[in-house]
Amino acid sequence: MQYKTLNKLLIFSLFFMALWFFGNLYEEFVLTPNQLTDSYEKLRHWQKFFTVTNPIFFYVPFTQFAVIIICILYFKVSDIKQKQLLKKAGVFGVLAMITTVVIVTQINLKTFFGDLDKYKDQLFFLSVVWLIGNAIRLYFVGSSLYYIFKTYILLQIKNANT
């Protein structure tokens, strides 16, 4: 694969994995802990607040594209060290996507988009589980981001030496 193409695809993936990581980091430490007190009222206000836009637009589809690109790059690069790093980045990225599917389908659809009256007794518990699941997702996204960045640095060093 040509340097320019690989470089651009790595930058794309770096940017959107960083966006994903720091977006979820913000949610972990700033947004969601507020749900741990008076969960029903907080989530009711959250649902009323997001009427025109939605946080989903922040993450979809570019974070998933970033992971897919990393997986494709793994098969396209010939450098063994880059291949090893991309393999790790891809595995952690896929694990982050799987974790996200679980969080969205099992928690977010109830707490952020569901009928809060139906789940009123579960909202505190779901908020705690969300925080734990998101912490796991942060580890996966952060690890993927780390290995993408290492691949990018390795590519720059390799290009500088040619």
Instruction: Give the pLDDT confidence score for residue 89 in this predicted structure.
Output: 98
Does 137 fall in a domain? yes
> Per the domain annotation, does 48 fall within a domain?
no
Let me know if residue 49 belongs to a domain: no
Q: Which residue has the tokens 């690989």?
A: 6
Domain count, the chain: 1
Structure tokens at 95: 């694990």
pLDDT in tens, 39-90: 999 999 999 998 888 888 889 999 999 999 999 999 999 999 999 999 999 9
Q: Is residue 78 part of a domain?
A: yes
**Segments forming the whole domain that contains residue 86:** 3-28+54-160
Q: Is residue 38 part of a domain?
A: no
pLDDT tens-place string over residues 93-149 = 999 999 999 999 999 999 999 999 999 999 999 999 999 999 999 999 999 999 999
Report the pLDDT value the prediction gives residue 107, as an integer from 0 to 100.
97
Separation between Cα atoms, residue 144 and residue 80, nearest integer Å: 18
* pTM passes above 0.85: yes
Contact (CB, 8 A) for 97 and 67 = yes
Residue keyed to tokens 């969300």: 130
Distances from the Cα of 31 to the Cαs of 65, 130, 133, 136, 152, in angstroms? 25, 12, 15, 17, 32
Tell me whether residue 128 is in a domain. Answer: yes
Task: Specify if 70 maps to a domain.
Answer: yes
Rounded to 5 degrees, what angle do the CA atoms 93, 94, 98 make? 120
Name the pLDDT band for 155 (thresholds 50, 70, 90): very high
The whole-angstrom separation of Cα 149 and Cα 86 is: 10
Any domain includes 94 = yes
**What tokens were used for 117?**
């009256």
User: CA-to-CA distance for 55 and 24, rounded, in angstroms?
Assistant: 11
